[in-house]
Structure 1
Amino acid sequence: MHTPFPIAHIACIVRDPLPPTRADLLRLFGAEMPRHGIGATLVGQAGEHAGPPWRGGGMYAVGRFSSRFASLLTPLWDGLGLLRAWRAPGSRPDCIQVRDKVASGVLARIVAAVLGVPFVVWLSFPIVEGYAVRRDAIWRQGRVLAWLPHALRAVVARTVLYGFVLPGARHVFVQSDAMAAALAVRGVPRARMTAVPMGVDTALFDRRHITPSLDPRLDGRRVVLYLGSVAQSRQSDFLLDVVALLRTHDPDVLLVIAGDAPSADEKAWMRAQIARRALGRHVLLTGWLPQRTALGYAVRAHAALSPIPRGALFDVSSPTKLVEYLALGIPCVANDIPDQAHVIAASGAGLCVPMDPAAFAAAVRRLLDEPLLAAAFAARGPAWVAGHRSYAILGQQVARAYTALLARGAP
């Protein structure tokens, strides 16, 4: 269904810098929602770099994402952005939504009540649990003075989110069924939640239109892929433990990490871990690449890895990595966080094992040594993603939720 003119407008307060670059914002709200007659006006802070044009509706960037005062001024900036959106002719919001912001969630709930429109929360990651993880990491480092403000932030954010923001939401969009279950325990009615897992642009990840990399370092090697970011918080040295086990059985194995760490100190850490294990011949860390180039490396892979640490922070996540592998037709090994376990079981396109180096290595060896099994997995992935995790499919589900919400109107 395509509607040339939006029949409803959502004011979305977002955490990401504007213009947005995240695929879920660009595809879901910039492309899919307008097809269903729903426009999205973005409110947030300006980033340092230009992004693609925003085609979903209006956009009001107030303040700078990189400002040292952003944590204090963001609610005020977002309030000004909402005011501008409300005054804009022809696009007055029928709904106010806040995404991954706690303080601005307080403001948004109040403004929505004053204006008489529904208030919606979108949680793409567990915010307060992330604050708690950061607090605990600082404590383990022995930085007591730095720990105090982080501890205070974690307590206040938890109280505000679970005590005021979420109870006032007409609807809550979450990233996974596991996140919905966790919020239900905290009193959010399951009927008021919609799980929207991460999706894939199936046209972009169609291997038929991807040119394989001509990097000679891949020639004659049994390539195992990891696509994306590495970091200590992700326990990315786990990948090295897996390849260290694989090389004892297969001297031609090569782990290609098509990506890098987000910061200079994390980059140095990962390279030091590779050197410490003497894995220079068995690990190719490409660094950040243009997406098409990275996908060229991906389609040379015989198997792909998606290890996600277990715990409160990641158990409720919906990793994009796994569904990207499936869309590319790469047989994969993933560990047993709930969403990945579901995807593997439903698609039949990979192996799911605990996050243990020996278990991962054994599963990878099985894919490398059983080509018929690997080929069957590879064939199942693209069709399952197209039917369940494409942005077109997810867009239909999200549009139905908004349509029902806006039809009921404000409380």
Structure 2
Amino acid sequence: MRTRPFSIAFIVRDPLPPQRADVATLFGVEMPAYGVHTELVGQGGGTGAGPWRAGGMHVVGSLRSRFASLLAPLWDAFGLLCAWRRARPDCIQVRDKVASALLALLAARLLRIPFVYWMSFPIVEGFEARRDALARQGRWPAWLAHALRAFLSRRVVYRLVLPRADHVFVQSEAMRDWLAGLGIAPERMTPVPMGVDAALFDRRTIAPSHDPRLAGRRVVLYLGRVARSRRSDFLLDVVLRLREQIPEVLLVIAGEAPSVDEMVWMRNAIAARGLGHHVLLTGWLPQAAALGYAVRAEVGLSPIPRGRLHDVSSPTRLVEYLALGIPGVANDIPDQQRSIEESGAGMCVPMEAGAFADATLRLLRDPGLAAHCAERGPPWVRKNRTYDILAREVALSYRRMLAPWGRRR
């Protein structure tokens, strides 16, 4: 694709340097091949080092500051100015921020360039969920602050930012349909589901783990974070049922919790159920080590609680299982259900412990079915969910959006 290069000033919510694949891989690795260069703006706090080779990176402030939520819009405004001084952007894009999105929208109008919003998460509903949790805990001073934030955020995002954005990238088709129901024009939205790095998730290049605790076990995998909000203890109820039928079953939970308290909660839940011999909770692992455990698994589990926050999401976990040739058992949030139906690489069931256990047992006991699912996953991912494929679609959306502003496709 021979095209005129263009530059995006991109304000992100996550800490810099970026770790999420839909920023680090999509924009940092794949998009430059389509002439899309990115000036990242945001706060520090991420791990890792090295230059941002896809453009520039402007780190202003730190998410570790106790005043980060108040100062972030000012930091982002200064970072945007730094990005503009380095390379005048062809558009300004904001990901999952509220006040900064409003400032960026004003800046884009002053510069007479398009404004784009990237919605990877329903941030307003996230604020409202936090508000409601504080009410249940009786923490009324904190509740008041979060209630005010949720109230203002809803009006900024849904009445000012999204209706005036020149384009909105959303996480899934379900998110596009939901926003369309709120009055956002569908033709101004592009779904960009989560994907994988094709080279990184090539099973042939991954060294299997030699952890002796896996020897002689029927390994079932959960790859991802542990949290109360994700109902991670649901996995333990599934294992209780699996153990009754397959005593040698071992659930490997390859991931960490967002806090020490959450990790302690999960370990206590394992002990309370007497599952110490049937659950291996690894904690944080380097990606190569986590993938080493993954390729030892026979089945991958991806339970995602239903509700507004998650029904519009696009979980990476299931796509990773399929890319690695691991049959998946997932519940029926729209993106997971679509992935299973299109790929034929697993089973989709309600998020009930009995249903998950039955589907997992069926795959563990039917080698032919498991092999069939394993074979179908990788080609479907290569065709639909690798970041080189997604980058092409995103680049086309940018060029269509920029065309009326005098940019060539």
- TM-score, with normalisation over the residues of structure 2? 0.97
- Select between 394-403 and 68-77 the one with higher mean Cα deviation: 68-77
Corresponding residue of 1:33? 31
* Structure 1: 5+ residue stretches without partners: none
C-alpha contact 1:116 1:410 (8 A) present in aligned 2: no
- Residue 406, structure 1, aligned to residue 402, structure 2: yes
Separation (CA, whole Å) in 2 of partners of 1:285 and 1:71: 32
Q: Confirm or deny that 1:15 pairs with 2:9.
A: no
Aligned CA distance change for structure 1 residues 2 and 68 (closer, same or farther; 3 Å)? farther
Offset of 1:260 from its aligned partner? Answer: 2.1
Describe the SS at the equivalent of 1:59: strand
Matched residue, 1:81: 79
The equivalent position to 2:134 in structure 1, one of 122, 134, 138, is: 138
Which amino acid counterpart does residue 359 of structure 2 have in structure 1?
A
Partner of 1:354: 350
Q: Output one character per residue of 1:390-409: Cα deviation in whole Å (capped at 9) or x when no partner.
A: 00100000000011111221
Matched residues in 1 for 2:172 and 2:374: separation?
Answer: 24
SS of match in other structure, 1:326? helix
> Of residues 130, 148, 154 in structure 2, which corresponds to 1:152?
148
1:233 corresponding residue in structure 2: 229
Q: Write the letter of the residue equivalent to 2:68.
A: A
Matched, 1:298 2:294: yes
Partner of 2:243: 247
Identity %: 65
Aligned to 1:175: 171
Matches within 5 A, 1:49-128: 49-88=47-86, 91-128=87-124
The amino acid that maps onto 1:120 is: V
1:65 deviates by: 1.8
Q: Is the 8 A contact 2:17 2:46 kept in 1?
A: no
| Aligned equivalents of 1:332, 1:176: Cα separation in 2 | 19
Structure 1 residue 187 and structure 2 residue 160: aligned?
A: no
Structure 2 counterpart of 1:169, which letter?
A: A
The residue number in structure 1 matching 2:322 is 326
| C-alpha deviation, 1:333, in angstroms | 0.2
Q: Tell me, what secondary structure is at the counterpart of 2:190?
A: strand
Question: Superposed, which structure 2 residues align to 1:273-288 within 5 Å?
Answer: 273-288=269-284
Shift of 1:48: 5.3
For 2:29 and 2:404, how far apart are their aligned partners in 1?
A: 25
Equivalents in 2 of 1:188, 1:281: separation in Å? 51
Distance 2:345 2:38 in 1: 35
CA contact (8 A) 1:132 1:151 kept: yes
* 8 A Cα contact 1:170 1:192, kept in partner: yes
Structure 1 residue 49: deviation in Å?
A: 3.3
Taking a change above 3 Å as real, the CA distance of residues 45 and 347 of structure 1, as seen in their structure-2 partners, is same
Corresponding letter in the other structure for 1:15: R
- Distance in 2 between the 1:183 and 1:51 partners? 37
**Contact 1:20–1:52, Cα closer than 8 Å, also in 2:** no
C-alpha change, 1:213 and 1:2, in structure 2 (3 Å) is: farther
Query: SS in structure 2 opposite 1:58?
Result: strand
Contact 1:18 1:51 in 2 (8 A): no
Specify which of 266, 269, 291 is matched with residue 270 of structure 1: 266
Structure 1 residue 53, shift from structure 2 partner: 2.7
Residues 1:215 and 2:211 aligned together: yes
User: Over aligned residues, Cα RMSD in angstroms?
Assistant: 1.3
Which segment is superposed worse, 73-82 or 325-334?
73-82
Q: Partner letter of residue 181 of structure 1? A: D
| 1:170-191, Cα deviation, whole Å (9 max, x unpaired) | 0000000011111111110000
In structure 2, C-alpha distance between the alignment counterparts of 1:87 and 1:212, rounded to whole Å: 48
Kindly provide the amino acid, as one letter, of the partner of residue 264 in structure 1.
V
Aligned length in residues: 407
Residue segments in structure 2 that go unaligned for 5+ positions in a row: none
Match of 1:202 among 176, 198, 202: 198
